């Protein structure tokens, strides 16, 4: 089984230096793109690969690049930004790539920048990723010294400057337009769309924002071709995926596997099954802002289309497991409290609705639940849904609640009837 994204990662060891990265096949994709392909050819190749964004939304990467204005009349300054602000609870896949193989990300950004003819690139990094910041700083310096960054890269006439930006640390910065506002030293509020960032982005210039894992796919697609990339997958969504599992399992962690690997294989074979004495009840398949799935969904393929068909989202592909000794109400309360805290406050439903939801759940946990509380929570799952808020933070935040009310409603009712949390 090929694992292109993680083949250079050595657990417990420092990442490869640039020379060793080159010996392992690194920068072959960049050389091929810059020396033998036109920018539009690179974009078309990525589009044909059917690479979808790995940050959660799953938007086709090549299509996003194709929206960037090209040609003589296009703005001279364009930007590429790596979204490394990994603050989705339960998600740690990008950290694995950043700390394990930072040159891979840099190479992917060089190719992306060449494809859209961007002259400046930023890595927008979560503040808490201290080791990643150190390793990226070193890797960027190595890339400059070797001539992969700066002026006339690989004698192609293409120029690219790259900067590492350490964020102040808010969940909202993961939304691409809020990220751009933060890069401009403004408050991290989302922007109205349209216009979209590929046309009007950072400082009003065309900007492509891609997730770390997404960009790490690019060098391998260019170096090995579309058919090779398609052959890595077990589904219509192509390539491999960095999957993760946290919770009471025997071997929590991350694994690079074919896109479309089933939940059961991930849970039983790679995570080793549930920890001794614990029984599986459910899971959030793609980080905290996705809907619960339960035992009947264990044979679902972990790809965008399959997970959506059963009422959830692939998201980041990093599962959070719910066991039989963890209160689902308490778990959801913990998540909703986080999302309420991280709301930027820009729109009323999110600013006021999420704290209200968190207070009701806290009351249930403390034995203060009242008849009618569940109906109020039900109403909020609609009032905070898609189309009712300025951005997707609140709709995502409400997904674990709406699915918990569906699958674990008896647990919510017991909190009201017993005037306490049955797990306390």
Q: Looking at the chain, which residues constitute the CATH 3.10.20.600 domain(s)? A: 242-323
CATH 3.20.20.140 fits 242-323, yes or no: no
User: For position 413, what pLDDT does the model report?
Assistant: 95
User: For position 346, what pLDDT does the model report?
Assistant: 87
pLDDT tens track for 304-339: 999 999 999 999 999 999 999 999 999 999 999 999
User: For position 118, what pLDDT does the model report?
Assistant: 97
User: For position 160, what pLDDT does the model report?
Assistant: 97
Q: Looking at the chain, which residues constitute the CATH 3.40.50.11540 domain(s)? A: 18-231
pLDDT tens track for 277-287: 999 999 999 99
Q: How sure is the predictor about 168, in pLDDT bands with cuts at 50, 70 and 90?
A: confident
Q: Under CATH, which number does the domain 18-231 receive?
A: 3.40.50.11540
Mean pLDDT, rounded, for 84-99: 93
User: For position 129, what pLDDT does the model report?
Assistant: 94
User: For position 354, what pLDDT does the model report?
Assistant: 95
Mean pLDDT, rounded, for 359-382: 94
Average pLDDT of the chain to the nearest whole number: 94
Question: Quick check: 11 pLDDT over 90?
Answer: no
Question: Quick check: 422 pLDDT over 90?
Answer: no
∠ Cα 330 391 301 (to 5°): 65
Q: Looking at the chain, which residues constitute the CATH 1.20.1440.230 domain(s)? A: 328-418
User: For position 55, what pLDDT does the model report?
Assistant: 87
User: For position 1, what pLDDT does the model report?
Assistant: 76
Using alpha carbons, select from 177, 220, 181, 182 the residue that is nearest to residue 197.
Answer: 177
CA–CA dist 149, 106 (Å, integer): 9
CATH topology of domain 328-418: de novo design (two linked rop proteins) (1.20.1440)
pTM of the full predicted structure? Answer: 0.94
């Amino acid at each position: 089984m090929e694992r292109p994204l993680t083949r250079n990662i050595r657990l417990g060891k420092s990442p490869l230096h640039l020379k060793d990265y080159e010996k392992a096949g690194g920068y072959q994709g960049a050389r091929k793109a810059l020396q033998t392909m036109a920018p539009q050819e690179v974009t078309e190749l990525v589009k044909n690969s059917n690479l979808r964004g790995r940050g959660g939304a799953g938007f086709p990467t090549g299509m996003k690049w194709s929206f960037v204005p090209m040609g003589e009349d296009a703005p001279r300054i364009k930007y590429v930004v790596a979204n490394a602000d990994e603050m989705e609870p339960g998600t740690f896949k990008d950290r694995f790539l950043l700390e394990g193989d930072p040159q891979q990300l840099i190479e992917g950004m060089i190719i992306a920048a060449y494809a859209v003819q961007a002259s400046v690139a930023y890595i927008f990094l979560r503040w808490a990723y201290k080791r990643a910041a150190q390793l990226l700083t070193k890797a960027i310096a190595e890339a400059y010294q070797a001539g992969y960054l700066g002026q006339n890269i690989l004698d192609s006439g293409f120029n690219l400057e790259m900067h590492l930006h350490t964020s102040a640390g808010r969940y909202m910065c993961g939304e691409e337009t809020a990220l751009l506002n933060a890069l401009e030293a403004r408050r991290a509020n989302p922007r109205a769309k349209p216009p979209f960032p590929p046309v009007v982005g950072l400082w009003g210039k065309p900007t492509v924002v891609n997730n770390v894992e997404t960009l790490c796919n690019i060098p391998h697609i260019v170096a090995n071709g579309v058919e090779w990339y398609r052959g890595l997958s077990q589904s219509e969504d192509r390539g491999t995926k960095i999957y993760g599992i946290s919770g009471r399992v025997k071997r929590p962690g991350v694994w690079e596997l074919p896109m479309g690997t089933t939940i059961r294989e991930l849970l039983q074979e790679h995570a080793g099954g549930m920890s001794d004495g614990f029984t599986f009840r459910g899971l959030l398949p793609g980080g905290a802002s996705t809907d619960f799935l339960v035992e009947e969904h264990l044979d679902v393929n972990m790809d965008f289309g399959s997970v959506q068909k059963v009422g959830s989202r692939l998201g980041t592909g990093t599962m959070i497991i719910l066991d039989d000794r963890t209160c689902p109400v308490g778990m959801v309360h913990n998540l909703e409290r986080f999302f309420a805290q991280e709301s930027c406050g820009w729109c009323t439903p999110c600013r006021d609705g999420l704290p209200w939801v968190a207070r009701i759940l806290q009351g249930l946990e403390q034995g203060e639940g009242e008849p009618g509380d569940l109906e109020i929570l039900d109403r909020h799952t609609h009032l905070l849904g898609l189309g009712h808020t300025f951005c997707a933070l609140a709709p995502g935040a409400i997904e674990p609640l709406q699915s918990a009310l569906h699958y674990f409603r008896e647990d919510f009712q017991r909190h009201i009837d017993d005037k306490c949390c049955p797990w306390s």
